[in-house]
Amino acid sequence: MAHITINQYLQQVYEAIDTRDGSSLAELVSFKHPHVANPRLQMASPEEKCQQVLEPPYDEMFAAHLRCTYAVGNHDFIEAYKCQTVIVQSFLRAFQAHKEENWALPVMYAVALDLRIFANNADQQLVKKGKSKVGDMLEKAAELLMSCFRVCASDTRAGIEDSKKWGMLFLVNQLFKIYFKINKLHLCKPLIRAIDSSNLKDDYSTAQRVTYRYYVGRKAMFDSDFKQAEEYLSFAFEHCHRLSQKNKRMVLIYLLPVKMLLGHMPTIELLRKYHLMQFAEVTEAVRTNGVSTRSRPGRCSDCVCASVPPPSEGNLLLLNEALAKHETFFIRCGIFLILEKLKIITYRNLFKKVYLLLKTHQLSLDAFLVALKFMQVEDVDIAEVQCILANLIYMGHIKGYISHQHQKLVVSKQNPFPPLSTVC
């Protein structure tokens, strides 16, 4: 394939179309396939050759593909992106003409993936030249992918085996990758509704469902829906291929903060295995009753949380130091502000420690003030203590009320500090 002539290549394309061999045709238009490195196929003006062998719109589609290989060979990703948009537009015309059949879905997957990649590369080149702002090409690519999505979603006439709806989840995942990149998460909402209402949602490939759950879980995390985030990210982690350590690590970067906010701390073994020791000191600072960073003997190293009961920690000083120490990593991953939410959990654990030490249901506000000062919380006074306690009560982390007249926190005699998993 690396040395075939243009005529041989076009003959293979013709045969794949004629026999409706979607997988072979997808390879012939994919930049993952070695033919793109063949200098004989990198042509600036292949239109005439393509028109001699292929019918419209395939002649236009593959002429654009050959021009695209020429542009990539010259490292011109702006031109490559323009060619790829022509490829997708031409493909869409052919795809819509395929009534009640979906043999071309592999082709759609190939051209859609390359469109997103070239849009990203074109964006980078345009920004370097000062001709565009970040995300412009990706946004335009998303519009084209939405056109593909609409064609798939509107296929109601074909039987389930031949339905184009099988292509919906792949396109949604590509769109998620773009929307997360350009920070337009609100655009994910209608796509999530479309998939969740689809009767195929549990029948897509495991790989596609893992990707979908990963992005929906991340969105739920940013929306502070931590229970849904835990459910979706846990699915993604548990169903990742066992050898895909890189992907499992990527899921854990978001699953760990969610688990911690729900009161489940990761084991040291897990953090070491996935090279995520940045979380170790944060874990020690926030650690709560009922969980530990150490696993029991024989415990699976991929279990996300352990259950050996240590003393509660609630170390604000250590938490602030841990967040500051690994700030660059947490910001780059987009989880710094989520981890900052752990401060309210750490206040809860610190105040629970005060409650356990004093062994009374009527706690002087001064006791909490002393605890905060011991943790070197700056510029703290009784008013600040009342504000923190009021927030904890409002959020359900403490069952009780503040007696302003007596300057006391009065807590419930039954379960005054509910488990985090029942609150968040």
Q: In which residue are the tokens 């250590």 written?
A: 318
Cα distance between residue 149 and residue 275, in whole Å? 37
In a domain, 294, yes or no: no
* Res 253: pLDDT: 98
Tokens of 30: 């994919």
* Res 108: pLDDT: 98
* Res 72: pLDDT: 97
Q: Which of 130, 158, 182 is where one domain is finished?
A: 182
* Res 220: pLDDT: 97
In a domain, 175, yes or no: yes
Q: Which residues contact 186 (CB under 8 A, 6 or more apart)?
A: none
Cα distance between residue 264 and residue 332, in whole Å? 24
Cα distance between residue 337 and residue 183, in whole Å? 15
Mean pLDDT value of segment 189-197: 96
Cα distance between residue 259 and residue 421, in whole Å? 9
Q: How confident is the model over 218-259, as pLDDT tens digits?
A: 999 999 999 999 999 999 999 999 889 999 999 999 999 999
* Res 423: pLDDT: 78
* Res 309: pLDDT: 36
403 forms beta bridges with 408
Residue 183 has pLDDT above 70, yes or no: yes
Mean pLDDT value of segment 136-153: 97
Mean pLDDT value of segment 260-271: 93
Residue 307 has pLDDT above 50, yes or no: no
**What are the strands of the beta sheet with 408-411, ordered from one edge?**
362-364, 408-411, 400-403
* Res 132: pLDDT: 76
* Res 2: pLDDT: 61
What is the percent of the chain with per-residue pLDDT over 90, rounded to a whole number?
80
Q: Which of 141, 161, 182 is where one domain is finished?
A: 182
Phi/psi of residue 114, nearest 5 degrees: -65, -35
The amino acid that residue 262 corresponds to is: L
Q: How confident is the model over 197-225, as pLDDT tens digits?
A: 999 999 999 999 999 999 999 999 999 99
* Res 377: pLDDT: 81
pTM: 0.88
Q: How confident is the model over 73-85, as pLDDT tens digits?
A: 999 999 999 999 9
In a domain, 256, yes or no: no
Q: How confident is the model over 104-123, as pLDDT tens digits?
A: 999 999 999 999 999 999 99
In a domain, 218, yes or no: no
Phi/psi of residue 23, nearest 5 degrees: -65, -45
Cα distance between residue 315 and residue 284, in whole Å? 8
Cα distance between residue 46 and residue 386, in whole Å? 74
To the nearest 10°, report the CA torsion of 120, 65, 173, 330.
Answer: -20
In a domain, 370, yes or no: yes
* Res 298: pLDDT: 41
Mean pLDDT value of segment 148-169: 92
In a domain, 289, yes or no: no
- Shared domain check, 325 and 178: no
* Res 422: pLDDT: 81
- Number of structural domains in the chain: 2
The domain spanning residue 393 has which CATH number? Answer: 1.10.10.10
210 contacts 235 by C-beta, under 8 angstroms: yes
In a domain, 242, yes or no: no
Cα distance between residue 197 and residue 341, in whole Å? 32
* Res 290: pLDDT: 38
Tokens of 149: 């999505």
The amino acid that residue 108 corresponds to is: M
User: Number of helices and strands (H, E) in the chain?
Assistant: 20, 3
In a domain, 253, yes or no: no
* Res 297: pLDDT: 36
H or E stretch at 36: none
Cα distance between residue 382 and residue 368, in whole Å? 9
Q: In which residue are the tokens 């006391």 written?
A: 408
148 contacts 88 by C-beta, under 8 angstroms: yes
Q: How confident is the model over 269-286, as pLDDT tens digits?
A: 999 999 999 999 999 888
Residue 172 has pLDDT above 90, yes or no: yes
Angle between helices 58-73 and 77-97 (to 10 degrees): 160
Q: How confident is the model over 22-72, as pLDDT tens digits?
A: 999 999 999 999 999 999 999 999 999 999 999 999 999 999 999 999 999
149 contacts 172 by C-beta, under 8 angstroms: yes
Residue 139 has pLDDT above 70, yes or no: yes
Number of other residues whose CB lies within 10 A of the CB of residue 275: 10
Beta strands 400-403 and 362-364, pairing class: unpaired
Q: Which of 116, 150, 182 is where one domain is finished?
A: 182
Range of 365's domain?
316-422
What is the band of 315 on the pLDDT scale with cuts at 50, 70, 90? confident
Q: How confident is the model over 283-296, as pLDDT tens digits?
A: 988 875 434 444 44
Cα distance between residue 100 and residue 164, in whole Å? 8
Q: How confident is the model over 370-424, as pLDDT tens digits?
A: 999 888 887 889 999 999 999 999 999 999 999 999 999 999 999 999 988 787 6
* Res 305: pLDDT: 61
